[in-house]
Amino acid sequence: MTELQKENIPRHIAIIMDGNGRWARKRLLNRINGHRKGMDAVKAVVTAAREVGVKYLTLYAFSTENWKRPHEEIKALMTLLGRYLKSELSMMMDNNIKLVAVGKIEDIPGKERGILQETIVKTAGNDGMVLNLALSYGGRDEILNSVRSLAMQVKSGEIEPHDITEDLFKENLLSVGMPDPDLLIRTSGEMRLSNFLLWQSAYTELYFCDTLWPDYGKEDLLLAVKDYQSRERRYGKTSDQVMPEVTST
């Protein structure tokens, strides 16, 4: 079992869960079987993140581009979403996990959207970890919406253009109230962000692994965190500047 530095756990981990289709294809199975198996990985990773002390876990569950997929696959993904939320509600309550969601939630089919909203309400009082599902989400769309919101505020006279700061911009993002990810993991060997948390990931540590998502589990997450703990986060400073800060903490 991988040993971690308890004092250096990423506060916020974001994951691009990639490889369900390839996992299924390698086994001569339908892609939907890969998505179904991927739900087991979600359960394992959520539990593991809570165990090690992660405070925010964001999962890229469905992108705005995913609506271009075949209708039957989209229908199956939405059905799996509803099943996951129903089956894991008790786990969330038992483990003090609060569910939230970002994206165009209004695009989610009525039945599954209702289950999602109900789960969000029921877990709203939990404060052990935030599980954030990115659903019908796109990073560029999120940034554009923030720009439009600020433009409207300028137009209405609420603010002046020079009032727009990074902090004000962030207040108009869907992730308002959450810290930026410390660590972003992508599975399956692909090395790109795929329109995920583009603003928030400016200084995020990126970790790519070849494991297909359905095969991903607790030990894989621990290895990613272990790798994160070996890195020096300088935010533009030099190593000499960072070391005194680390020593003092």
Catalytic residue from among 30, 40, 66, 195: 66
The residues, any chain, with a CB within 8 Å of residue 130's CB and separated by 6 or more, are 55, 56, 57, 97, 98, 99, 100, 178
**Confidence tier at 237 by pLDDT (50, 70, 90):** confident
Q: Each residue of 163-202: pLDDT tens digit? A: 999 999 999 999 999 999 999 999 999 999 999 999 999 9
Domains and CATH numbers, the chain: 11-136+182-230 (3.40.1180.10)
Q: Which candidate in 18, 180, 182, 220 is catalytic? A: 18
Q: What percentage of residues in the chain have a pLDDT greater than 90?
A: 92
pLDDT of residue 234: 76
Q: Which residues pair with 97 in a beta bridge?
A: 129
Q: Active-site residue 18, yes or no?
A: yes
CA distance 116 to 4: 33
The pLDDT tens digits of the residues spanning 115-174 come to 999 999 999 999 999 999 999 999 999 999 999 999 999 999 999 999 999 999 999 999
pLDDT band at 238 (very low <50, low <70, confident <90, very high): confident
Q: Is 240 a catalytic residue?
A: no
- Please give the model's pTM, rounded to 2 decimal places: 0.93
* Alpha-helical runs (H) found in the chain: 20-26, 31-52, 71-94, 110-122, 139-155, 166-171, 218-229, 239-248
pLDDT higher than 90, residue 240: no
**Alpha carbons 67 and 215: distance in angstroms, whole number:** 25
